[in-house]
Structure 1
Amino acid sequence: MDKNTVREALLDHAQSLLMTRGYNGFSYRDLSELVGVKTSSIHYYFPTKEDLALEAVNAYSADVMSSIYAIDSSASADKKLDRYTKLFGRIIGGGNQICLCGMLASDIESLPEKVRHAVQSFFKANENWLAKVLAEGEAQDTLDAGGKPEAAARVLYAAFQGSLLACRLFQTRTRLDEVANTVRR
Protein backbone atom coordinates (compact mmCIF):
# COMPACT_ATOMS: atom_id res chain seq x y z
CA MET A 1 0.00 0.00 0.00
CA ASP A 2 1.18 3.50 -0.71
CA LYS A 3 1.39 6.08 2.08
CA ASN A 4 -1.91 7.79 1.26
CA THR A 5 -3.72 4.46 1.12
CA VAL A 6 -2.32 3.35 4.49
CA ARG A 7 -3.19 6.69 6.06
CA GLU A 8 -6.73 6.58 4.64
CA ALA A 9 -7.20 2.98 5.80
CA LEU A 10 -6.03 3.92 9.28
CA LEU A 11 -8.47 6.84 9.41
CA ASP A 12 -11.37 4.75 8.07
CA HIS A 13 -10.80 1.98 10.59
CA ALA A 14 -10.22 4.46 13.40
CA GLN A 15 -13.55 6.10 12.61
CA SER A 16 -15.32 2.73 12.67
CA LEU A 17 -13.66 1.79 15.95
CA LEU A 18 -14.54 5.15 17.48
CA MET A 19 -18.16 4.75 16.36
CA THR A 20 -18.50 1.24 17.78
CA ARG A 21 -16.15 1.20 20.78
CA GLY A 22 -15.41 4.83 21.69
CA TYR A 23 -12.09 6.52 22.38
CA ASN A 24 -11.02 4.18 25.16
CA GLY A 25 -12.27 1.00 23.49
CA PHE A 26 -9.44 0.37 21.05
CA SER A 27 -5.68 0.53 20.78
CA TYR A 28 -3.11 0.95 18.04
CA ARG A 29 -2.70 -2.83 18.21
CA ASP A 30 -6.38 -3.26 17.20
CA LEU A 31 -5.85 -0.82 14.37
CA SER A 32 -2.64 -2.51 13.22
CA GLU A 33 -4.45 -5.86 12.94
CA LEU A 34 -7.26 -4.33 10.89
CA VAL A 35 -4.99 -2.47 8.48
CA GLY A 36 -2.17 -5.02 8.38
CA VAL A 37 0.64 -2.71 9.44
CA LYS A 38 2.92 -2.56 12.47
CA THR A 39 1.96 -0.27 15.33
CA SER A 40 5.17 1.66 14.69
CA SER A 41 3.82 2.45 11.22
CA ILE A 42 0.68 3.94 12.78
CA HIS A 43 2.89 6.18 14.94
CA TYR A 44 4.55 7.40 11.73
CA TYR A 45 1.20 8.81 10.53
CA PHE A 46 -0.33 9.60 13.92
CA PRO A 47 2.30 10.00 16.67
CA THR A 48 -0.36 9.86 19.41
CA LYS A 49 -3.88 8.57 19.80
CA GLU A 50 -4.93 12.20 20.26
CA ASP A 51 -3.55 13.00 16.79
CA LEU A 52 -5.46 10.05 15.32
CA ALA A 53 -8.72 10.89 17.10
CA LEU A 54 -8.52 14.57 16.17
CA GLU A 55 -7.91 13.75 12.51
CA ALA A 56 -10.75 11.19 12.58
CA VAL A 57 -13.16 13.73 14.12
CA ASN A 58 -12.13 16.44 11.65
CA ALA A 59 -12.51 14.13 8.64
CA TYR A 60 -15.85 12.79 9.91
CA SER A 61 -17.11 16.29 10.67
CA ALA A 62 -16.08 17.62 7.25
CA ASP A 63 -17.83 14.72 5.53
CA VAL A 64 -21.05 15.00 7.54
CA MET A 65 -21.23 18.77 7.38
CA SER A 66 -20.59 18.85 3.62
CA SER A 67 -23.53 16.45 3.21
CA ILE A 68 -25.70 18.68 5.39
CA TYR A 69 -24.68 21.85 3.57
CA ALA A 70 -25.39 20.11 0.26
CA ILE A 71 -29.08 19.81 1.16
CA ASP A 72 -31.01 21.88 -1.38
CA SER A 73 -31.32 25.35 0.13
CA SER A 74 -34.43 26.06 -1.96
CA ALA A 75 -36.31 23.08 -0.47
CA SER A 76 -38.97 23.70 2.14
CA ALA A 77 -37.86 23.44 5.75
CA ASP A 78 -39.75 20.20 6.38
CA LYS A 79 -38.06 18.63 3.32
CA LYS A 80 -34.66 19.78 4.59
CA LEU A 81 -35.42 18.11 7.92
CA ASP A 82 -36.43 14.91 6.09
CA ARG A 83 -33.11 14.90 4.24
CA TYR A 84 -31.20 15.56 7.46
CA THR A 85 -32.96 12.59 9.09
CA LYS A 86 -31.93 10.37 6.17
CA LEU A 87 -28.32 11.54 6.56
CA PHE A 88 -28.47 10.60 10.23
CA GLY A 89 -29.83 7.21 9.20
CA ARG A 90 -26.70 6.57 7.14
CA ILE A 91 -24.62 6.87 10.31
CA ILE A 92 -26.18 3.73 11.78
CA GLY A 93 -24.61 1.62 9.04
CA GLY A 94 -25.23 -2.04 9.77
CA GLY A 95 -26.94 -1.12 13.02
CA ASN A 96 -23.92 -1.25 15.30
CA GLN A 97 -22.61 2.31 14.94
CA ILE A 98 -23.59 5.62 16.39
CA CYS A 99 -22.39 9.09 15.48
CA LEU A 100 -18.63 9.32 15.99
CA CYS A 101 -18.98 12.62 17.83
CA GLY A 102 -21.92 11.33 19.85
CA MET A 103 -19.84 8.36 20.94
CA LEU A 104 -16.93 10.61 21.84
CA ALA A 105 -19.22 12.93 23.78
CA SER A 106 -19.86 10.01 26.14
CA ASP A 107 -16.09 9.84 26.71
CA ILE A 108 -15.74 13.60 27.15
CA GLU A 109 -13.95 13.47 30.51
CA SER A 110 -11.16 11.29 29.12
CA LEU A 111 -10.75 13.09 25.79
CA PRO A 112 -7.77 15.31 25.07
CA GLU A 113 -8.66 19.01 24.96
CA LYS A 114 -8.33 19.43 21.16
CA VAL A 115 -10.56 16.42 20.50
CA ARG A 116 -13.12 17.71 23.01
CA HIS A 117 -13.26 21.07 21.21
CA ALA A 118 -13.64 19.38 17.82
CA VAL A 119 -16.58 17.32 19.15
CA GLN A 120 -18.18 20.44 20.63
CA SER A 121 -17.77 22.26 17.31
CA PHE A 122 -19.50 19.40 15.49
CA PHE A 123 -22.46 19.53 17.88
CA LYS A 124 -22.71 23.34 17.57
CA ALA A 125 -22.57 23.22 13.75
CA ASN A 126 -25.46 20.73 13.66
CA GLU A 127 -27.48 22.71 16.19
CA ASN A 128 -26.92 25.96 14.26
CA TRP A 129 -28.05 24.36 10.99
CA LEU A 130 -31.12 22.86 12.66
CA ALA A 131 -31.99 26.22 14.28
CA LYS A 132 -32.05 27.88 10.85
CA VAL A 133 -34.24 25.12 9.43
CA LEU A 134 -36.61 25.28 12.40
CA ALA A 135 -36.89 29.07 12.06
CA GLU A 136 -37.68 28.64 8.35
CA GLY A 137 -40.20 25.94 9.19
CA GLU A 138 -41.98 28.18 11.65
CA ALA A 139 -42.15 30.94 9.03
CA GLN A 140 -43.51 28.41 6.50
CA ASP A 141 -45.88 26.98 9.15
CA THR A 142 -44.56 23.44 8.60
CA LEU A 143 -42.41 23.00 11.73
CA ASP A 144 -43.01 23.94 15.36
CA ALA A 145 -40.04 25.20 17.38
CA GLY A 146 -42.21 26.82 20.03
CA GLY A 147 -40.92 30.22 18.93
CA LYS A 148 -37.44 29.31 20.17
CA PRO A 149 -35.55 27.74 17.24
CA GLU A 150 -32.14 27.70 18.97
CA ALA A 151 -33.42 25.87 22.05
CA ALA A 152 -35.59 23.57 19.93
CA ALA A 153 -32.56 22.78 17.74
CA ARG A 154 -30.53 21.72 20.78
CA VAL A 155 -33.38 19.50 21.96
CA LEU A 156 -33.90 18.05 18.49
CA TYR A 157 -30.20 17.35 18.00
CA ALA A 158 -30.02 15.66 21.39
CA ALA A 159 -33.03 13.57 20.35
CA PHE A 160 -31.30 12.58 17.09
CA GLN A 161 -28.16 11.55 19.01
CA GLY A 162 -30.21 9.64 21.59
CA SER A 163 -32.23 7.92 18.89
CA LEU A 164 -29.02 6.50 17.42
CA LEU A 165 -28.24 4.92 20.78
CA ALA A 166 -31.73 3.45 20.95
CA CYS A 167 -31.54 2.23 17.34
CA ARG A 168 -28.30 0.45 18.19
CA LEU A 169 -29.72 -0.95 21.42
CA PHE A 170 -32.95 -2.26 19.88
CA GLN A 171 -31.54 -2.97 16.39
CA THR A 172 -34.22 -0.89 14.68
CA ARG A 173 -34.30 2.41 12.79
CA THR A 174 -37.83 3.38 13.82
CA ARG A 175 -36.69 5.49 16.75
CA LEU A 176 -34.69 7.71 14.42
CA ASP A 177 -37.68 8.17 12.11
CA GLU A 178 -39.83 9.27 15.06
CA VAL A 179 -37.54 12.16 16.01
CA ALA A 180 -38.32 14.53 13.14
CA ASN A 181 -42.04 13.97 13.62
CA THR A 182 -41.86 15.68 17.02
CA VAL A 183 -41.53 19.13 15.40
CA ARG A 184 -43.95 18.74 12.49
CA ARG A 185 -47.16 20.73 12.45
Structure 2
Amino acid sequence: MSMRDEILRVATELYTLRGYRGVSFNDIAEVLGITTTSIHYHFKNKVGLAKQALDEYAAGVEHEIRAIWTDQNTTLARKMQASLDFNRRSYFRFNRQGEEGRVWSLLSRFANELDAFPPEFRARIGAFRAEVQACARHGLEIATARGEYRAEVLRTDMSRMLAQSFLYAGYIARDGGNFEAVERNYRLVMDLLKRSYGTG
Protein backbone atom coordinates (compact mmCIF):
# COMPACT_ATOMS: atom_id res chain seq x y z
CA MET A 1 0.00 0.00 0.00
CA SER A 2 1.07 3.58 -0.61
CA MET A 3 1.36 5.88 2.39
CA ARG A 4 -1.83 7.64 1.27
CA ASP A 5 -3.71 4.32 1.26
CA GLU A 6 -2.27 3.37 4.64
CA ILE A 7 -3.42 6.68 6.12
CA LEU A 8 -6.90 6.11 4.69
CA ARG A 9 -7.03 2.56 6.00
CA VAL A 10 -6.09 3.56 9.54
CA ALA A 11 -8.29 6.66 9.51
CA THR A 12 -11.30 4.63 8.35
CA GLU A 13 -10.81 2.09 11.12
CA LEU A 14 -10.31 4.70 13.83
CA TYR A 15 -13.23 6.83 12.65
CA THR A 16 -15.43 3.73 12.68
CA LEU A 17 -14.39 2.83 16.22
CA ARG A 18 -14.28 6.30 17.79
CA GLY A 19 -16.17 8.65 15.51
CA TYR A 20 -14.93 11.74 13.72
CA ARG A 21 -14.60 13.85 16.87
CA GLY A 22 -12.74 11.08 18.68
CA VAL A 23 -9.84 10.86 16.23
CA SER A 24 -7.02 13.33 15.63
CA PHE A 25 -4.19 13.41 13.10
CA ASN A 26 -1.90 12.60 16.03
CA ASP A 27 -3.84 9.36 16.66
CA ILE A 28 -3.47 8.29 13.04
CA ALA A 29 0.19 9.28 12.90
CA GLU A 30 0.93 7.33 16.08
CA VAL A 31 -0.55 4.11 14.68
CA LEU A 32 1.48 4.46 11.48
CA GLY A 33 4.69 5.73 13.08
CA ILE A 34 4.72 8.88 10.94
CA THR A 35 4.39 12.61 11.54
CA THR A 36 1.18 14.57 11.09
CA THR A 37 2.96 16.53 8.34
CA SER A 38 2.68 13.47 6.11
CA ILE A 39 -1.08 13.31 6.67
CA HIS A 40 -1.44 17.03 5.89
CA TYR A 41 0.58 16.52 2.72
CA HIS A 42 -1.83 13.89 1.41
CA PHE A 43 -5.15 15.22 2.75
CA LYS A 44 -4.61 18.86 3.84
CA ASN A 45 -7.05 18.83 6.76
CA LYS A 46 -9.24 16.57 8.88
CA VAL A 47 -12.42 17.21 6.89
CA GLY A 48 -10.59 16.38 3.65
CA LEU A 49 -9.37 13.09 5.09
CA ALA A 50 -12.80 12.19 6.46
CA LYS A 51 -14.46 12.99 3.13
CA GLN A 52 -12.00 10.81 1.21
CA ALA A 53 -12.46 7.99 3.74
CA LEU A 54 -16.24 8.24 3.40
CA ASP A 55 -16.16 8.37 -0.41
CA GLU A 56 -13.91 5.33 -0.73
CA TYR A 57 -15.69 3.32 1.95
CA ALA A 58 -19.13 4.04 0.43
CA ALA A 59 -17.92 3.20 -3.08
CA GLY A 60 -16.50 -0.11 -1.86
CA VAL A 61 -19.71 -1.14 -0.12
CA GLU A 62 -21.81 -0.02 -3.10
CA HIS A 63 -19.68 -2.23 -5.34
CA GLU A 64 -20.26 -5.25 -3.09
CA ILE A 65 -24.00 -4.65 -2.75
CA ARG A 66 -24.46 -4.02 -6.46
CA ALA A 67 -22.73 -7.32 -7.24
CA ILE A 68 -25.02 -9.17 -4.82
CA TRP A 69 -28.35 -7.66 -5.84
CA THR A 70 -27.89 -7.46 -9.60
CA ASP A 71 -26.82 -11.10 -9.96
CA GLN A 72 -29.28 -12.62 -12.44
CA ASN A 73 -28.57 -16.19 -11.32
CA THR A 74 -29.32 -16.12 -7.59
CA THR A 75 -32.63 -16.20 -5.77
CA LEU A 76 -33.77 -13.33 -3.59
CA ALA A 77 -33.19 -15.50 -0.54
CA ARG A 78 -29.56 -16.02 -1.58
CA LYS A 79 -29.16 -12.29 -2.17
CA MET A 80 -30.46 -11.59 1.34
CA GLN A 81 -28.14 -14.25 2.75
CA ALA A 82 -25.17 -12.68 0.94
CA SER A 83 -26.12 -9.26 2.36
CA LEU A 84 -26.40 -10.75 5.82
CA ASP A 85 -23.00 -12.43 5.42
CA PHE A 86 -21.48 -9.10 4.38
CA ASN A 87 -22.88 -7.46 7.52
CA ARG A 88 -21.69 -10.37 9.66
CA ARG A 89 -18.11 -10.05 8.40
CA SER A 90 -18.14 -6.33 9.08
CA TYR A 91 -19.68 -6.80 12.52
CA PHE A 92 -17.17 -9.36 13.73
CA ARG A 93 -14.28 -7.34 12.39
CA PHE A 94 -15.09 -4.69 15.00
CA ASN A 95 -16.65 -6.93 17.67
CA ARG A 96 -14.23 -9.84 17.69
CA GLN A 97 -13.28 -9.41 21.35
CA GLY A 98 -16.88 -9.68 22.54
CA GLU A 99 -17.57 -5.95 22.70
CA GLU A 100 -21.15 -6.49 21.60
CA GLY A 101 -22.94 -3.77 19.72
CA ARG A 102 -20.03 -1.66 18.49
CA VAL A 103 -20.65 0.34 15.34
CA TRP A 104 -18.97 -1.41 12.41
CA SER A 105 -19.83 0.90 9.53
CA LEU A 106 -18.14 4.22 8.78
CA LEU A 107 -21.37 5.34 7.14
CA SER A 108 -23.39 4.69 10.30
CA ARG A 109 -20.78 6.41 12.44
CA PHE A 110 -20.64 9.51 10.27
CA ALA A 111 -24.44 9.59 9.90
CA ASN A 112 -24.58 10.12 13.67
CA GLU A 113 -22.16 13.06 13.44
CA LEU A 114 -23.54 15.02 10.50
CA ASP A 115 -23.56 18.25 12.48
CA ALA A 116 -19.73 18.12 12.43
CA PHE A 117 -19.51 17.99 8.63
CA PRO A 118 -20.24 20.21 5.63
CA PRO A 119 -23.43 19.46 3.61
CA GLU A 120 -21.72 17.19 1.06
CA PHE A 121 -21.35 14.50 3.73
CA ARG A 122 -25.12 14.32 4.16
CA ALA A 123 -25.51 14.21 0.39
CA ARG A 124 -23.01 11.34 0.05
CA ILE A 125 -24.68 9.28 2.75
CA GLY A 126 -28.07 9.96 1.18
CA ALA A 127 -26.77 8.87 -2.22
CA PHE A 128 -25.41 5.67 -0.67
CA ARG A 129 -28.76 4.84 0.90
CA ALA A 130 -30.55 5.53 -2.37
CA GLU A 131 -28.13 3.22 -4.20
CA VAL A 132 -28.73 0.38 -1.74
CA GLN A 133 -32.48 0.76 -2.14
CA ALA A 134 -32.15 0.83 -5.94
CA CYS A 135 -30.12 -2.39 -5.78
CA ALA A 136 -32.76 -4.02 -3.57
CA ARG A 137 -35.45 -2.95 -6.02
CA HIS A 138 -33.45 -4.44 -8.89
CA GLY A 139 -33.04 -7.70 -6.98
CA LEU A 140 -36.79 -7.82 -6.36
CA GLU A 141 -37.44 -7.22 -10.07
CA ILE A 142 -35.13 -10.13 -10.92
CA ALA A 143 -36.91 -12.37 -8.40
CA THR A 144 -40.31 -11.43 -9.82
CA ALA A 145 -39.15 -12.13 -13.37
CA ARG A 146 -37.89 -15.54 -12.18
CA GLY A 147 -41.35 -16.30 -10.76
CA GLU A 148 -40.32 -16.27 -7.09
CA TYR A 149 -42.82 -13.53 -6.17
CA ARG A 150 -46.05 -12.15 -7.56
CA ALA A 151 -45.81 -9.00 -9.67
CA GLU A 152 -47.74 -6.84 -7.16
CA VAL A 153 -44.73 -6.98 -4.83
CA LEU A 154 -43.14 -4.33 -7.06
CA ARG A 155 -45.95 -1.90 -6.23
CA THR A 156 -45.19 -2.06 -2.50
CA ASP A 157 -42.47 -0.76 -0.20
CA MET A 158 -40.83 -4.18 0.08
CA SER A 159 -37.63 -3.01 -1.63
CA ARG A 160 -37.34 -0.34 1.06
CA MET A 161 -37.70 -2.99 3.76
CA LEU A 162 -35.06 -5.14 2.09
CA ALA A 163 -32.68 -2.18 1.88
CA GLN A 164 -33.32 -1.15 5.47
CA SER A 165 -32.41 -4.62 6.69
CA PHE A 166 -28.94 -3.88 5.37
CA LEU A 167 -28.72 -0.13 6.05
CA TYR A 168 -29.88 -0.25 9.66
CA ALA A 169 -28.27 -3.53 10.69
CA GLY A 170 -25.82 -1.63 12.91
CA TYR A 171 -28.59 -0.01 14.91
CA ILE A 172 -30.48 -3.30 15.15
CA ALA A 173 -27.37 -5.05 16.51
CA ARG A 174 -26.72 -2.23 18.97
CA ASP A 175 -30.29 -2.17 20.26
CA GLY A 176 -30.59 -5.95 20.27
CA GLY A 177 -27.22 -6.41 21.98
CA ASN A 178 -25.69 -8.76 19.42
CA PHE A 179 -25.64 -9.85 15.79
CA GLU A 180 -28.41 -12.40 16.37
CA ALA A 181 -30.85 -9.47 16.35
CA VAL A 182 -29.76 -8.69 12.78
CA GLU A 183 -30.23 -12.31 11.75
CA ARG A 184 -33.73 -12.36 13.26
CA ASN A 185 -34.66 -9.18 11.42
CA TYR A 186 -33.50 -10.64 8.08
CA ARG A 187 -35.55 -13.78 8.71
CA LEU A 188 -38.64 -11.77 9.62
CA VAL A 189 -38.41 -9.63 6.49
CA MET A 190 -37.96 -12.66 4.25
CA ASP A 191 -40.81 -14.50 5.98
CA LEU A 192 -43.11 -11.49 5.54
CA LEU A 193 -42.16 -11.22 1.89
CA LYS A 194 -42.73 -14.91 1.23
CA ARG A 195 -46.04 -15.06 3.07
CA SER A 196 -47.38 -11.91 1.42
CA TYR A 197 -46.12 -12.28 -2.13
CA GLY A 198 -44.48 -15.68 -2.60
CA THR A 199 -45.61 -17.90 -5.45
CA GLY A 200 -44.63 -21.23 -3.96
Q: TM-score normalized by structure 1?
A: 0.83
CA offsets 1:26-54 (integer angstroms, 9 cap, x no match): 11111111111111211100112121111
Question: Is this contact kept in 1: 2:65–2:83, CA < 8 A?
Answer: yes
Out of 5, 8, 12, the position equivalent to 1:8 is 5
Counterpart of 1:94 in structure 2 is 94
Question: Aligned partner of 1:107: which letter?
Answer: E
Question: Aligned partner of 2:163: which letter?
Answer: Y
- How far, CA to CA, are the matches of 1:49 and 1:63 in structure 2? 21
- How far, CA to CA, are the matches of 2:42 and 2:75 in structure 1? 44
Counterpart of 1:117 in structure 2 is 123
For structure 1, which segment, 123-132 or 163-172, has the greater mean C-alpha deviation from structure 2 after superposition? 163-172
Question: Aligned partner of 1:119: which letter?
Answer: I
- Shift of residue 174, structure 1, vs aligned partner: 0.8
User: Residue 17 of structure 2 aligns to a residue in which SS?
Assistant: helix
- Shift of residue 171, structure 1, vs aligned partner: 5.7
User: Residue 74 of structure 2 aligns to a residue in which SS?
Assistant: coil
Q: 1:168 to 1:7 in 2, by over 3 A?
A: farther
Counterpart of 2:136 in structure 1 is 130
- Aligned-residue RMSD, C-alpha: 2.5
- How far, CA to CA, are the matches of 2:59 and 2:81 in structure 1? 21
Larger radius of gyration between Structure 1 and Structure 2: 2
User: Residue 67 of structure 1 aligns to a residue in which SS?
Assistant: helix
Unpaired runs of at least 5, structure 2: 96-101, 195-200
Question: Aligned partner of 2:128: which letter?
Answer: F
Question: Aligned partner of 2:47: which letter?
Answer: E
Q: TM-score normalized by structure 2?
A: 0.77
For structure 1, which segment, 109-118 or 151-160, has the greater mean C-alpha deviation from structure 2 after superposition? 151-160
2:47 maps to 1:50: yes
Once the two structures are superposed, the pairs formed by residues 1-185 of structure 1 within 5 Å of their partners are 5-71=2-68, 72-92=71-91, 93-95=93-95, 96-137=102-143, 140-141=147-148, 147-149=154-156, 151-168=157-174, 172-184=178-190, 185=194
User: Residue 73 of structure 1 aligns to a residue in which SS?
Assistant: coil
User: Residue 40 of structure 1 aligns to a residue in which SS?
Assistant: helix
- Shift of residue 162, structure 1, vs aligned partner: 3.5
Unpaired runs of at least 5, structure 1: none
- How far, CA to CA, are the matches of 1:115 and 1:60 in structure 2? 13
Q: What is the total number of aligned residue pairs between the two structures?
A: 181
Counterpart of 2:197 in structure 1 is none
- Shift of residue 89, structure 1, vs aligned partner: 1.6
